[in-house]
Amino acid sequence: MKIGYIGLGNMGGPMCRNLIKGVNHQVVVHDLNPEAVAACVAVGGTAAESLAKLAAECDVIFTSLPMPKHVEAVVLGEGGIAQHAKPGSTYIDLSTNSPAVVKRLSAELAKKGIAMLDSPVTGGVPRATAGTIVVMAGGEESVFEANRALLAAFSSTVVHVGPIGTASVAKLLNNMLAFCNAAAAMEAMTMGAMAGIDLRKLFEIITNGSGDSAAIRGLEHRALAGKFEASFHLDLAYKDLSLAVELATEHGVPGMIAPQVLNLMRMARGMGLGGEDSSTSLKVYERVMGREVRLPK
Ligand code: NAD
């Protein structure tokens, strides 16, 4: 079997390298960034001559791409997967994508005899690197079972959610909670700083108390340490939360919290911070209050 992998960035890179190390199959890799390709070739991957060639020769093709529009271009665009992949092959999208888009892609690919799973992941770069990322999958159960071992090669938890699109819904809701929890944590830490209490002690109390969350812990070595280099770009977080808010609108669910956090992200993007880490929203509070909010060592 030959496996194709398109999109080797912050997430796709480490997941692909774990796949290469974890399976006895040739893995053909493709990215617009030659350095990202080289890092996967260095551990045994094969650089694709082109997207079209990769699509034509692989039995299973993964993508891990930033936005729905990038996935659509790679799947439906000229020289892409729909045009060149073999009937009987399987396409697995690991990106965080729109449920409507993945359903449309799946329907287009089905016309060519290509099966699809929407298979977003959660856990961030550290867990992608450690091979302990959580993978969720939407699509036909038989397609999921046929590919379960491949997914398990780079993850610790693999969950089949239901039909195509359902995994994307689960992923958007997971991220909505993560971003809302992170925004609440930023607000609390800013309030603690303004009230003049020791932020390290506040952090210790919260992370051992009922206010604890993975989100506040995730801020410790990022924004609260003054580190804003992206392991997860704010622009991508904004995409995810926008899709979650669209989902609430589609189903008529009152948006009490997520739209507020989307506005916070909009302010940070308006400050030119979209290319920084998703935790950079803390800088909105800092700008408004005129002081830095940092954890003492
Ligand atoms: P990234 O920007 O670091 O990487 C994307 C990669 O795709 C880049 O290397 C880029 O060169 C490549 N690319 C873009 N267009 C391409 C094309 N047409 N053909 C080939 N390569 C192309 O993004 P990321 O953080 O790795 O995120 C990838 C996906 O995973 C996104 O959908 C994101 O929302 C999701 N995600 C990210 C995280 C995280 O913590 N970073 C966590 C879970 C899910």
Atom of ligand 1 nearest to the CA of 73: 18
Does the fold of domain 169-289 match that of domain 2-163? no
Segments making up each domain of the chain, as ranges: 2-163, 169-289
Angle at 237 between CA 233 and CA 277, to 5 degrees: 30
The residue type of 156 is S
Give the residue numbers annotated as catalytic, written as ranges: 171
SS (H, E, C) 203-266: HHHHHCCCCCCHHHHHHCCCHHHCCCCCCCEHHHHHHHHHHHHHHHHHHCCCCCCHHHHHHHHH
Atom of ligand 1 nearest to the CA of 95: 32
CA of 37 to the centre of ligand 1 (A): 13
Q: What is the pLDDT of residue 297?
A: 87
What superfamily in CATH does domain 2-163 come from? NAD(P)-binding Rossmann-like Domain (3.40.50.720)
Dist. CA 18–CA 40, nearest whole Å: 10
pLDDT by residue for the chain (297 residues), tens only, comes to 999 999 999 999 999 999 999 999 999 999 999 999 999 999 999 999 999 999 999 999 999 999 999 999 999 999 999 999 999 999 999 999 999 999 999 999 999 999 999 999 999 999 999 999 999 999 999 999 999 999 999 999 999 999 999 999 999 999 999 999 999 999 999 999 999 999 999 999 999 999 999 999 999 999 999 999 999 999 999 999 999 999 999 999 999 999 999 999 999 999 999 999 999 999 999 999 999 999 998
CA of 244 to the centre of ligand 1 (A): 19
CA of 190 to the centre of ligand 1 (A): 31
Mutating to test ligand 1, I would choose from 50, 65, 92 the residue with most ligand atoms within 8 A of its C-beta, which is: 65
Annotation: CATH topology of 169-289 = N-(1-d-carboxylethyl)-l-norvaline Dehydrogenase; domain 2 (1.10.1040)
In terms of pTM, does the model score above 0.85? yes
